[in-house]
Amino acid sequence: MGTPTGAIASAGSSILMSWAPPMATQDEIVDILVESYTNNQMRTLGGLFYSGQMKMLDDYSGSSGREVIETWVFFGDPSTMIRSDIPQNLDVTHLTEEFVGVNSLIVNSNTEDAVVTLKSNDSIIAKSVIQNGQALLQFSSIDTPDTLEVALSAYNKVPYFGQFIVKSVPVPYGNAEDLLIGPNPVDENGMLHLMFELETDQEVRYFNLQ
């Protein structure tokens, strides 16, 4: 998995910290991390730290608890998802291209509750969660060619990044400005002569590719 290069977050006290209350915070973080609670599962750094802090404040509701809450400071992005195991790749399938006018995309994965997002430039235009093997992304009709970004993330998984290309509808042959008729009319010897006149019948077919 590479060589660790440093911490991604830390919690530091701005004063000399007491002993017991912070340990209550740490104990609660561990209990949540090992999924001791069915209805209280946190997968982000901020969720773990501040859930531990709230439990500490319940246990130490006096001045010692308030002091820890006010002085133990979290540094980092609280929305960062943690990992408790070696991350595995996500198995993901979806359409990779569609014509303009598209307004939905189905993403399939065997990882339940994986979060799926669809992004255009710097804006998220759709978001969903994998349920029963798939997620339906619905968005405003894309009326111009574009390349959208599909992303999936889940606990202890390597994030997936893919593309969804919205392309122009091919111009039907019936709308073509130029018409090529061939082969050129020739005489019985296969020769084409100057001022040679030959009457031919032509059939023009219209192909609708939409």
pLDDT greater than 60 at residue 207: no
pLDDT in tens, 148-192: 999 999 999 999 999 999 999 886 655 555 555 555 556 666 565
pLDDT number for residue 179:
55
DSSP per-residue letters across 15-75? S---SHHHHHHHHHHHHHHTT--TT----BHHHHHHHHHHHHHHH--SHHHHHHHHHEEEE
Q: What class does CATH assign to 88-167? A: mainly beta
Average pLDDT of the residues in 48-77: 95
Contacts of 84 by beta carbon, 8 Å cutoff, 6+ apart: 33, 156
Average pLDDT of the residues in 195-199: 59
Rg (CA), the chain: 32
What are the angstrom distances between the C-alpha of 118 and each of 23, 56, 89, 160? 41, 39, 19, 12
pLDDT in tens, 79-136: 999 999 999 999 999 999 999 999 999 999 999 999 999 999 999 999 999 999 999 9
Q: Which residue has the tokens 């970004």?
A: 149
What residue spans define the domains of the chain? 9-76, 88-167
Contacts of 70 by beta carbon, 8 Å cutoff, 6+ apart: none
Contact by Cβ (8 Å): 90, 158: yes
pTM to 2 decimal places: 0.69
Closest CA to 172 of 128, 131, 207: 207
